[in-house]
Chain A
Amino acid sequence: MKTSIEKKPTVILVDDHLIFRQGLKSLINFENIGIVVGEASDGKEFLELLSVSVPDLVIMDIDMPNMNGIEAAQKALELKPGIKIIVFSMFGDQEYFLKMIDLGVKGFILKSSGIGDLEKAVSEVMKGKNYFSSELPKKTINKFGVKNSQETIEKPKAPIPWW
């Protein structure tokens, strides 16, 4: 199933639903996508983990108690600016997308999409690219594209749409 990544990335999973984490961990191991080296049930636990070891990749929920995914992403990126974060989100979370993109999150996947999507996301993000679920609304995808062009192309005269 895996062809593009030679070495499996180390992953920290951050989600308040233990059963979701356990399932995802099984899938990630089973499908040979990565090696889960840590788990946290909220943003605070995640930041504690991060102070001990930095994984190749973080897969994180948004809505969590104590410290949510947005604050956790912001703090994690302050502490470790290069850290690669993929956010798992639900349909109602769209309002957070732009905020997360601004913070420097590398990927977005909807929980309604499957492991194939996550696998692609991991592969792309590990190559240094961004990734977002194709199911995300066009508007969000467009803005995501714009943000990328601004980052990679020096001072474009106008934002370059992805199409």
Chain B
Amino acid sequence: MALRPTEKPTLILVDDHLIFQQGLKTILTYENIATVIGEAANGNDFIKLLSHLKPDIVLMDIDMPYMNGMEATRKALELMPELKIIVLSMLGDEDYYYKMIDLGAKGFILKSTGIDEIEKAIHDVMLGESYFSNELLRKIIKNFSTNNNQIHIINESLTDRETEILKLICHGLTTEEMASSLNISPKTIKTHRANLLEKTGCKNTPAMIFFALKNKIIEI
């Protein structure tokens, strides 16, 4: 089990399948992962909840009636830019990944993964990082390589060190792994990562991976 912050994060579940919501709530509570303070069956209900609830985390489905997860994410982040949204998606939702990432979702997990991964995602996201399941990144990259042939101009302002770190990020290394591999402190890695986000204009890790692919910093 991943290390948890000392205080359990508060969380809202957004999914149109009540039985899924109830099951997930039971597990999150039973495993002491988070305190579920609200539940919504669609984006509309969720946005209404935000008028009186301030959760740390939102676990959000994509395909829902009335207002889907993308629209809900966009509206929620307008209202609360710091809100940490983790998307729970099904296989076949690949088309939405980039859109959700672009909107500023902090995490993306497939429903085919288990509670351990949700726990890890919540943990990482609470630390201010993003979390995207490896299975998902593989699919994104696979889709990207078959669908995208645009060539973008490389951003010359990246330093050698930043380029090096970007490559390691693309290889899926964690902050700690990069720190030990490059023999520098995790704090320095975080600074580089922040600079990379700033320079590339990306909101999160997958967006940076796209950037690296587009600019041929990494090859598939």
Contacts of B24 in A (CB 8 A): 19, 23
Judge if A113 is at the interface, Cβ distance under 8 Å. Answer: yes
Q: Check A112–B16 contact: CB distance below 8 A.
A: yes
Q: Size of chain B's interface in residues, with CB distance under 8 A?
A: 22
Inside 8 A of B115's CB, which chain A residues have their CB?
Answer: 19, 22-23
Q: How far is the CA of A58 from the CA of B112 in the complex (A)?
A: 20
A26, B23: Cβ atoms closer than 8 Å: yes
* Contact present for A17 and B112 (CB under 8 Å): yes
Q: Indicate whether B14 reaches chain A with its CB closer than 8 angstroms.
A: no
Checking B18, B25, B41, B88 against A19 with a beta-carbon cut-off of 8 angstroms, the contacting residue is B88
Closest CB of chain B to A38's CB: distance in Å? 16
Residue of B nearest to A88 (CB): B19
CB distance from B176 to the nearest CB of A (A): 26
Interface of A is mostly: helix
Asked if B18 contacts A26 (CB within 8 A), the reply is: no
B19 adjacent to A24 (CB under 8 Å):
yes
**Across the interface, do B17 and A111 meet the contact criterion of CB distance under 8 Å?**
yes
Contact B90–A23 (Cβ < 8 Å): no
Count how many pairs of residues, one from A and one from B, have CB atoms less than 8 Å apart in the complex: 68
A5 within 8 A of B: no
**Residue contact A27 to B22, C-beta cutoff 8 Å:** yes
Task: List, in ascending order, chain B residues with CB within 8 A of A26's CB.
Answer: 23, 26-27, 30
- Chain A contacts for B30, CB-based, 8 A: 26, 30
Q: Residue-by-residue, is B90-122 near A (CB-CB < 8 Å gives 1, otherwise 0)?
A: 110000000000000000000111110010000
State which residues 200-218 of B face A: CB under 8 Å.
none
Interface residues of A in 1-60 (CB under 8 A from B): 16-20, 22-27, 30, 41
* Interchain nearest-CB distance for B129 vs A (Å): 21
A: residues with CB less than 8 A from B are 16-20, 22-27, 30, 41, 65, 88, 90, 109, 111-115, 117-118
A115-B111 contact given A23-B27, A26-B30, A90-B17, CB 8 Å threshold: no
A-B contact pairs, 5 of them (CB 8 A): A22-B23, A26-B30, A27-B19, A27-B22, A115-B19
Knowing that A19-B113, A109-B19, A111-B19 touch, tell me 12 more A-B residue pairs with CB under 8 angstroms: A17-B111, A18-B113, A19-B118, A20-B23, A22-B23, A24-B19, A25-B23, A26-B26, A65-B91, A111-B17, A112-B19, A117-B19
**Do residues A112 and B41 form an inter-chain contact, with CB atoms below 8 A?**
yes
- CB atoms of A114 and B19 under 8 A apart: yes
Complex: A41 Cα to B91 Cα, angstroms: 14
Contact B16 A23 (CB under 8 A): no
From A19, A20, A23, A25, name the one whose CB has the most chain B CB atoms within 10 angstroms: A19
**In the bound complex, do residue B22 and residue A115 qualify as a contact, i.e. CB atoms below 8 Å apart?**
yes
Contact of B114 among A19, A88, A111 (CB under 8 A): A19
A19 to B113, CA, bound (A): 6
Interface centre among B91, B113, B114 (most CB of A within 10 A): B114
In the complex, which residues of chain B have a beta carbon less than 8 angstroms from the beta carbon of A111? 17-20
Bound together, the chains give a CA A124 to CA B25 distance in angstroms of 26
Closest residue of chain B to A41 (Cβ to Cβ) is: B112
The answer to whether B90 touches A17 (Cβ under 8 A) is yes
- Least CB distance from B198 to A in Å reads 34
Name A25's closest neighbour in chain B (CB-CB). Answer: B23
Chain B residues near A25 (CB-CB < 8 A):
23
Give min CB distance, A133 to chain B, whole Å: 10
- The residue on B at minimum CB distance from A117 is B19
Q: How far is the CA of A94 from the CA of B114 in the complex (A)?
A: 28
